[in-house]
């Protein structure tokens, strides 16, 4: 019996470890010639999805501590926020799709990711009960929440394109 628990625990740890993407680090020089390092998203591209912490969310999307009863968008362009977890299989399916769409839409929309395991307060603020969940935030008006994915990759891409075009780029 103990052996079975050990095998199950080991399998879970291996699964969690294999699902962790991790970020890359890029080195460059600042104006004084000193070497600096910065974390970059897994694509390293300018238009990839970006991770959001609570502090980033308050500065770039909505400061719900300053405005607890009213939606006041802090961003300079519409955004799509992916609430996900590393262990979630549908979340891992949507991740490359969102990366592709971030490239496709370029600088028209910001694409963000929030890890619900690390940012539990943000997940609670938006009542995230199932993942993946997506928050479509237009420049004006209130955001729209959507969850789940379609049956195929192409249907999922088209679903996102339709929602982006209808909710964010009108």
Examine the residue annotation and report whether 79 is marked as an active-site residue of this protein. no
Examine the residue annotation and report whether 19 is marked as an active-site residue of this protein. no
* From 52, 61, 80, 91, active-site residue: 91
> How far from chain centre, in Å, is Cα 89?
15
* From 88, 101, 135, 149, active-site residue: 88
Alpha-carbon span 139 to 49, nearest angstrom: 18
Quick check: 132 and 88 in contact, CB under 8 A?
yes
Q: Is 110 helix (H, G, I), strand (E, B) or coil?
A: strand
Beta-sheet pairing, 35-40 with 24-29: antiparallel
Phi, psi of 113 (to 5 degrees): -130, 140
Peptide bond preceding 142: is omega within 30 degrees of 0, i.e. cis? no
Active site residues: 88, 91
């Amino acid at each position: 019996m103990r052996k079975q628990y050990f095998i199950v625990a080991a399998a879970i740890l291996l699964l969690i470890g294999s699902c962790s993407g991790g970020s890359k680090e890029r080195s460059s020089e600042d104006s004084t010639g000193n070497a600096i390092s910065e974390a970059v998203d897994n694509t390293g591209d300018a238009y990839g999805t970006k991770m959001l912490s609570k502090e980033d969310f308050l500065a770039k999307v909505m400061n719900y501590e300053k405005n607890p009863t009213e939606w006041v968008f802090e961003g300079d362009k519409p955004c799509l926020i992916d609430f996900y977890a590393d262990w979630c299989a549908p979340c891992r399916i949507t991740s490359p799709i969102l990366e592709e769409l971030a490239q496709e839409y370029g600088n028209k929309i910001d694409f963000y990711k929030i890890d619900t395991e690390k940012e539990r307060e943000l997940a609670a603020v938006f009542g995230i009960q199932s993942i993946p969940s997506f928050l479509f935030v237009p420049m004006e008006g209130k955001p729209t929440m959507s969850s789940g994915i379609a049956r195929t990759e192409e249907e999922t891409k088209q679903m996102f394109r339709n929602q982006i075009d209808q909710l964010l780029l009108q």
